[in-house]
Structure 1
């Protein structure tokens, strides 16, 4: 399995970087072969041979950062509403799509907004993955009102989650149509 971890944040010393480090530590513990791409350094990473995609980003203005949206649009747009509709997308080999994100707003506010970030990934990206692909969403809400202890607990949860291969973790948050 080739696991690609895509991180999207302009600052290398952000909490998002700590989240990325937690994902990487977990993957190392699970002995999962992986590669890491920071979209600010490599705006067009190769998706060739990827069977697991992990995306790490902060939720800004209710959704994904513009850099991530641009990458998704450039990479997947032609398969959604362009000349390649119906053809195998670059994600057609992805059997597991995981997202780790943070929000400034509460879970309730995010629900009231319609969960735009979650819905973009579940309704647009997941269907372009392999039939039956699993989807996983890990999120820390109200980050600007969390304590250091709560943030540390979230990082430990993220690391523990990726220290267990997703097939063993019983991930069933959502499934791509078969």
Structure 2
């Protein structure tokens, strides 16, 4: 399977960086073709410009700096996202990637006011590997806002039976080394056995 791994964290020595490396190695060892896109290392520009917004619904327009990301997305059969959850959502860099890459004509088509047609039917599986500073009970109380975005918006633009798997570590603000090691091992095992 061709896997596009999108990584978003500004620090190269972060726990998220360790998780990205583990995820890429585990998927490769399972025989998958893995393309890693490190948004910060690539200096991806997450800002949707005025011109991009004005031409947003023009399906023939893909802005400079986003074209190779669009090509990667169109070739992928699965997506893996590795990022920390900040303020109950993805980092601004990742949000900007969705704004600039998941465009009309790429991720969806609007045929009318109530007719949204998915265009990423090549994507059969999505895995999110994320960490939260917050405890699980608070995320439950708030309704897991980032999970809802992926389940109700991102996944619906993919294949009809696209599977979404959420692998998260909560309580990072007070997390022990042992808990981080166990979570990293869980990621390795889960993605090494990916079919």
Please indicate, yes or no, whether the TM-score normalized by the shorter chain is above 0.5. Answer: yes
Divergent runs of 4+, >3 A: none
Return 31-40 or 57-66, whichever deviates more. Answer: 31-40
Q: Which residue of 1 aligns with 2:104?
A: 78
Partner SS for 2:24? helix
In structure 1, how many angstroms separate the alpha carbons of the residues matched to 2:80 and 2:184? 15
Matched, 1:134 2:163: yes
Q: Rg larger in 1 or in 2?
A: 2
Unaligned runs of 5+ in 2: 45-65, 111-115
Q: Which residue of 2 aligns with 1:99?
A: 128
In structure 2, how many angstroms separate the alpha carbons of the residues matched to 1:87 and 1:103? 32
- The normalised TM-score by structure 1 is 0.85
Q: Which residue of 2 aligns with 1:68?
A: 94
Contact 2:117 2:157 in 1 (8 A): no
- The normalised TM-score by structure 2 is 0.78
Matched, 1:38 2:38: yes
Q: How far did residue 87 of structure 1 move?
A: 4.2
Q: Which residue of 2 aligns with 1:175?
A: none
In structure 2, how many angstroms separate the alpha carbons of the residues matched to 1:53 and 1:126? 10
Unaligned runs of 5+ in 1: 168-178
